[in-house]
Structure 1
Amino acid sequence: MPRLMLTDEHWSKLRTILLEDRVYDKPEHRQTMEGILYRMRVGCPWQDLPDTFGLWNTIFRRFLLWTRKGILQRLFKKLISEPDFEWIFIDGSIVKAHQHSAGASSKYDEAIGKSKGGNTSKIHLAVDSYGLPIEFTITGGQPHDSKAAKPLIDMLPYANYIIADKGYDSEAIREQVRGRNSIPNIPRKSNSKVGNDDIDWCLYKYRHLVENTFEKLKKYRAIATRYDKLKANYESMVALACIMCWLPM
C-alpha cells in the first residue's frame, strides 16, 4: 500500500471546497486526489501509478479536467485563511525541465526556456509574513527575475512592505510597489551610486521565509523537476503543492 498524504481532516477540508465549486461528490474522488498527490511526490509517469488509486487513465483524465476548469487553482486560493500581509516576500527559482516535458503540440507558450543548461522553467513565488504561498507565476527559465516581477506584483494584495533580493533591483519595480502604497525593501547592487541607506536590513533577514517555502515545494519531485508538457498542467501541480502547505493551517 503506497503512503497516503491526506488525513480525514485534510480531505474534509478539500471535499467541502470541491462541493462549493460544484464538483460532484463521487466516492472515488479521495483516491483520485491521492493518486495525483502520489504522482506529484514521486514524479513517476502517469502510467506507473499503483493500482491502489484506480485506473491511471481515469486519474489522469480527472487531473486534466480539473486543470482545464481551474479547480486546483481555486482550491489553493480558497484554502488561504487569515494570511498576514504586513510583509510579502517574492523570489524566483529555476526548475529543470525533463526531456519528456518538451515537444508539446501547442500553439501557446508552455513556459519552457532553452539555454546552455538545457530546458528550464522558473517559479516566481510570493509568500506572506508566515512564509505561506499566496501567489505564483510560471515562466521559461531564461527571463530575469526583474522582468517577470511586474505581473506577479500586480497579482498581490496590499502589503506594508514588499521584500525581494538584489535580482529585483529596478527603479521601475520600486515605483510599481510604491504605486500600490507599499514600501519596497530591495537592496541595490554593489555598483549602485544611490546606496542602501533606505533598506531595513533586519526585515530583509526574514527573506529566508520565501526560500524555505521553495524548499517545501521542491520536496515533491514533480515540482523540483518539470515533467508536464503543458504549462497549465505544471501550474496545477505547483498549486497542489501550495495546497499541501495550507492544509495543516
Structure 2
Amino acid sequence: MGSKRHLICDGTGIPFHVIMTTANDITQTPHLVDGIPPVAGRADRPRRRPEYVLGDKAYDSKVVRRQLRHRRILPVISRKRAPNIKGLGELRYVAEQTFALLHQFKRLTVR
C-alpha cells in the first residue's frame, strides 16, 4: 500500500500545510485547505483561505470542487479525460519544486 503527500503552498513555494494519506486519497483536501494558517491581510482580519486552489487531474471530483466552492475558493483543476488547462503546468512547477525541497532532492524512501 502506497502513501501520498498532499501539499498546499503559496505562489513562491512556501508550504502552508502538508499531510500524508494513503495513495489516491483525495478526501483530505478540505482538511488541507482548512489547515492554512492566517496569512497577510488587514491587521484586524487576516485572510484564512486562498482565493483559488490549483490542482492536477487527481483532484478532479465533484465532491472536491463542491467543498472548495463552499469555502468560497475557486477550484482551478484540470478535468480528467480533457486537455490540460493552458499554463497550469507552469504554475504547478512551484509546488513540484517545493516537494523536491521537502524531499531534499532525493528519491522517496520506502515506509
TM-score of the two chains, using structure 1 as the length reference = 0.35
Which of 78, 83, 103 is residue 218 of structure 1 equivalent to? 103
Gaps of 5+ in 1: 1-114, 228-249
- SS in structure 2 of the partner of residue 172 of structure 1: helix
Q: Is 1:139 paired with 2:21?
A: yes
Provide the C-alpha distance between the structure 1 equivalents of 2:72 and 2:89, rounded to a whole number of angstroms. Answer: 19
The aligned residue for residue 150 of structure 1 is 30
Q: Is 1:187 paired with 2:78?
A: yes
Gaps of 5+ in 2: 37-47
In the TM superposition, 1:105-124 aligns within 5 A as: 115=1, 120-124=2-6
- SS in structure 2 of the partner of residue 189 of structure 1: coil
Provide the C-alpha distance between the structure 2 equivalents of 1:184 and 1:209, rounded to a whole number of angstroms. Answer: 17
In the TM superposition, 1:39-188 aligns within 5 A as: 115=1, 120-140=2-22, 142=23, 144-156=24-36, 157-188=48-79
Provide the C-alpha distance between the structure 2 equivalents of 1:131 and 1:187, rounded to a whole number of angstroms. Answer: 20
What letter is aligned with 1:125?
L
Provide the C-alpha distance between the structure 2 equivalents of 1:150 and 1:226, rounded to a whole number of angstroms. Answer: 27
User: Per-residue deviation at 1:154?
Assistant: 2.5
Pair 145,208 (structure 1): closer, same or farther in 2 beyond 3 Å: farther
User: Per-residue deviation at 1:173?
Assistant: 0.8
Pair 220,206 (structure 1): closer, same or farther in 2 beyond 3 Å: closer
User: Per-residue deviation at 1:226?
Assistant: 5.9
Q: Which runs of 4+ in 1 moved over 4 A?
A: none
- SS in structure 2 of the partner of residue 201 of structure 1: coil
Instruction: Give yes or no for contact 1:145–1:168 (8 Å, CA) kept in 2.
Output: no
The aligned residue for residue 42 of structure 2 is none
User: Per-residue deviation at 1:178?
Assistant: 1.1
Higher helix residue share: 1
Provide the C-alpha distance between the structure 2 equivalents of 1:145 and 1:205, rounded to a whole number of angstroms. Answer: 24
Return the index of the structure with the highest Cα Rg.
1
Provide the C-alpha distance between the structure 2 equivalents of 1:166 and 1:211, rounded to a whole number of angstroms. Answer: 15
Provide the C-alpha distance between the structure 2 equivalents of 1:132 and 1:226, rounded to a whole number of angstroms. Answer: 26
Higher strand residue share: 2
Provide the C-alpha distance between the structure 1 equivalents of 2:80 and 2:105, rounded to a whole number of angstroms. Answer: 33
